Chains A and B, each alone.
Chain A
């Protein structure tokens, strides 16, 4: 008991001995690390935009690593200062910190560990299109605490890094600049499927957004369902940021050609939907 009191007193003495200069230095180190991290992110993002798509992905890959290195150096400096101040009482301080992490800031700590895991295990990278939890979008930043996504509706979403421990992550492109896009079209059951498939294929391969190679082929699938026919095209968009433009481009040009060739969408009467006049009556 007496020993405990002595340790606590020594700890309090150590805390009292911290001068303003040291606190300011620690705060400055952390601030510089934060600002430096931001500057590196901005500069590398600007550089990546000037490069080709594959170059862009490679440069964006190193952004979180550089940021983490900066933060680790900063934390190392801060912890060294703490060790110098507390010396042998550090273990007691660590115990107090451990308790506070366990009770108060465990989520923050989990986010930080999640950030390290994301940086080095790379379940996703900056520039990837991912589905994480309930969110889908392009990863724009991987920070110490959270990952920032931009959804297709241009909403910026901040997702805590600890989600990767209990949510599955689906990455559409896994670091590549191209990404598979699945395009479904539905046509009337009695349509000429062969002609429709040919038109859809031509619309895909002639799109300005498509990327085709031996490893990235265009695949066409056809499924006859009771009241309509589903055509599915699986193709790679050249730049994942053009995912929806690609889909729209293929849809538009396919339907224009379908109309020229008498290929119609499924008719509503087959779904027992009464004509509009009957509904109004």
Chain B
């Protein structure tokens, strides 16, 4: 994320010489926008005030800034500032008024799908001329991100006993999201084991080929999304051991009624929603229980300890493909 931090710091430097351009950090769920904002706050500790919205904001007081607020304001999870319903945009109007009338520089984070929706409806990009879209992680970055929590050689990478020798050619299943079909499919592709070949040709002892395969599978399945990658790692890890075969590949064949799909699109766009918030937005308490039950049984969402519903990380790419098929997210 070095480039993104550089871009944000350049905008902060411009602000210090009188050029105020608000910043929007945009990313899909579990992509690390809060981490990036935390890093920006750490770098600019003396001149920045950070505010995090952890659920939908209903009270205008929550967005009013105290007198001791510093010149740079960091607002995390700004997708919680609107409710997708009639009469649900009052806080959002206040927010737009605040950022356009104050002298402070606003650095905000947004869920990608909420941003796209709000941008089409309210032209949000006019208020945030600098938009930083968090890119997907590279394979090596994912490896570092996952292994940084463990000591050196704490994790043991191993293969099945009957497959001690690495195969010269093996089949890798490439996940492909087809929004036209509304699902993620796995395409088997034969792959040449280049590290193995190198080791054989150079008469070296094989070193990291199993580890490489573990992270290759994680990288392909997660599409470089760190949150999804971590979840796949946790599901495959039999501490302290892990093997490539334990890294799961997930493809959900989603079949939902339109109202259920709409609720799923809300959960995707807000990242975390309580049942009451869903009821409020769809305007029906009767349908919510049935809908949530359907989404839970299809293993598309889960309920966290705080009572919020979230999209399952391993189902994220399937859900996005399905939502794009229905054009419930843009």
Contact = CB atoms under 8 A, between A and B. Distances in A.
Nearest to A51: B180
A257 B87 contact: yes
Contacts of A254: 86
B259 interface: yes
Interface string A244-265: 0000000001101100100000
Given A52-B324, A54-B180, A253-B283, A213 B86 contact: no
A218 B326 CA distance: 20
Interface in A168-206: 177, 199, 202-203, 205-206
B86 A52 contact: no
Interface in B66-121: 84-89, 117, 120-121
Contact of A205 (B87, B121, B182): B121
Main secondary structure of the interface of B (DSSP, over half): loop
A208 B261 CA distance: 10
B262 interface: yes
A75 interface: no
Contacts of B330: 212-213
Choose among A205, A218, A238, A253 the residue with the greatest number of B CB atoms under 10 Å from its CB: A205
A53 interface: yes
Nearest to B82: A206
A34 to B, nearest CB: 31
A50 B85 CA distance: 30
A123 interface: no
Nearest to B180: A55
Q: How large is the interface on A (under 10, 10 to 19, 20 to 34, 35 or more residues)?
A: 20 to 34
B181 interface: yes
Contacts, number: 61
Contact of A218 (B88, B121, B327): B121
A203 B180 CA distance: 29
B279 to A, nearest CB: 14
Contact of A260 (B87, B258, B325): B87
Interface in B251-303: 258-259, 262, 281-283
Interface residues of B, number: 25
A16 interface: no
Contacts of B49: none
B182 A52 contact: yes
A211 interface: yes
B86 A199 contact: yes
A165 B273 CA distance: 56
B179 interface: yes
A173 to B, nearest CB: 14
A269 interface: no
B120 A214 contact: yes
Nearest to A50: B181
A52 B120 contact: no
Interface in A226-241: 238-239
A242 B120 CA distance: 21
B322 to A, nearest CB: 10
Nearest to A212: B120
Nearest to B262: A208
A211 B86 contact: no
Contacts of A52: 179-182, 324-327
A51 B88 CA distance: 33
Nearest to A218: B121
Interface string A121-132: 000000000000
A50 B88 CA distance: 34
Contact of A238 (B281, B283, B327): B327
Interface of B: 84-89, 117, 120-121, 179-182, 258-259, 262, 281-283, 324-328, 330
Interface of A: 50-55, 177, 199, 202-203, 205-206, 208, 211-214, 218, 238-239, 242, 253-254, 256-257, 260
23 contacts: A50-B181, A51-B180, A51-B181, A52-B179, A52-B180, A52-B325, A53-B325, A55-B181, A202-B85, A206-B85, A206-B86, A206-B88, A208-B259, A211-B327, A212-B117, A212-B121, A218-B121, A238-B327, A239-B327, A242-B258, A254-B86, A256-B86, A257-B86
